Structure 1
Amino acid sequence: MNRKPTFSILTPTYNCEKYILSSWQNLCLQTENNWEWVIVNDGSTDNSLEIINSLKDERIKIHTYDDNRGRGFARNLALSKASGDIIVIWDIDDLYFPDRLQKIKNAFSDKDIEYFCSYALIVDNQLKIKGVRRFSSDNIFDKSFVHPTLAFRSSLLGSLKYGEGVAGEDFGLMVYLDKKCKGYFCEEFLMLYLEDREINLFKTLHFHRSFVQSSKRLIREDILTFTPLSKLRFYATAYLKTIILHMMRIKPSLYLETVKFRHLELLSFDELPQNRKNFIDSIKDR
Structure 2
Amino acid sequence: MELKVSVKAPAKINLTLDVLRKRDDGYHEVEMIMTTVDLADRIDLIHLEEDRIVVDVSEGYVPNDERNLAYQAAKILKERYSINKGVSIYITKNIPVAAGLAGGSSDAAATLRGLNELWKLNLSLDELARVGTEIGSDVAFCVYGGTALATGRGEIIKKISSPPPCWVVLAKPPIGVSTAEVYGKLKVNQITHPNTQAMLKAIEEKDFTKICAQLHNVLEEVTFNTYPEVKHIKAQMERFGADGVLMSGSGPTVFGLIQKESRLNRIYNGLRGFCSNVYAVRLISQHHS
- In terms of fraction of residues, the more strand-rich structure is 2
TM class by smaller structure: under 0.3
**What TM-score do the two structures reach when normalised by structure 2?**
0.26
- In terms of fraction of residues, the more helix-rich structure is 1
Q: Specify which structure has the bigger relative contact order, considering alpha-carbon pairs within 8 angstroms and separated by 6 or more residues.
A: 2
